[in-house]
Structure 1
Amino acid sequence: MKKKLAIFDLDGTLFDTKDVNFLSYKHALEKYNYKLEYEYFCKSCYGMSFEKFLPKIIKDNKVSIYDIHKLKKELYLSNLGQAKINNHLFNIIELLKEKYFLAIVTTASRKNCIEILEYFRKHDLFDLIISHDDVLHVKPNPEGFIKAMKFFNIEPRETIIFEDSSVGIEAARKSGAGVFCVNKF
């Protein structure tokens, strides 16, 4: 019986999806006559919930951020060729899977999370996926991490979280679990 839990963020940790997300949001926003610059996206949007950054781009309320996000999710699959896999971390996951439950906690949508895992044939590695769709409060709130620990009945002291973004690291620390910061791969 497994008594430990390893939780992984998706974007920036398991996969470099910056270009995938940028292109998907860029094209979704263009449909509504908004522009998105790459540098701005990287600095002010990537790793955050769309509910936090889209209102800063769409200031006139002529279109719903939810409509733009829905279109972004539809465009995501067509841009997956731009994603890069963190092979080193997946090698570690292979070593952990015998003794640890493996979970993903992400601010990404469930749809986009499943798409990238299937694209890279990694879906079957994980015992649980908690996405933006499964929580009321996204990172930096630790709700997703706590929910994963409760699902497996694993204490924070028996949990390690792999994260890359400042909001994700903050949420991981608030959960009481150990934290590994992924900087580059």
Structure 2
Amino acid sequence: MEERDPRTEPKRRIRAAHTAGTITVYQAYSPVIGVPAARDGRFPAAWKRDRMTWIKPSFLWMMYRCGWGAKEGQEVVLAVEITREGFEWALRGACLSHYERGFHPDRDAWRRELREAPARVQWDPERDLRLAPLPYRSLQLGLAGEAARRYADEWTVSVRDVTPLAREVHGLVRAGDLAAAGRLLPVETPYPEVPGLLDRVRP
């Protein structure tokens, strides 16, 4: 796991596993959705494309959210590789999930953005291996409507079941071997930001 100095790390930045053309995000589902998605490399018809879905580039934030894959309905942890083109399309059209004084002109303007945007962003505290909050934040991206459909049917490059990895890392953490646990984590580095990418969502 890459050590970051909280004194110099930007408060809000996308950190992710990424390649020249893709970015990996995480979700957790019940076996009804997760097993066929990992098997077929795409989301099944049972995956509701008309509902908002939240994707998380941070593996440890996903572990915090799903309890290392132990929470009911989140037993299958998926690493979903999607195109950077799609990810950035969603970010450019996104809005913050909450009103931010001084960033939005007023609450009505923010509400209008929220109604019209195909995606929304939350910045939540990043987590360490013990899932304690860190002083800097990681991105969650909520996809709705067109964005959710494109995520499932156009942007997805691969879907992997990383539940065994989650359990192995958790076991090492519980045993107190944080160094070994950290070596197993996906390598997440700052995501390259093209100009204007986060202008609508980073206060």
Normalised by the size of structure 1, how large is the TM-score? 0.27
Name the structure with the higher helix share. Answer: 1
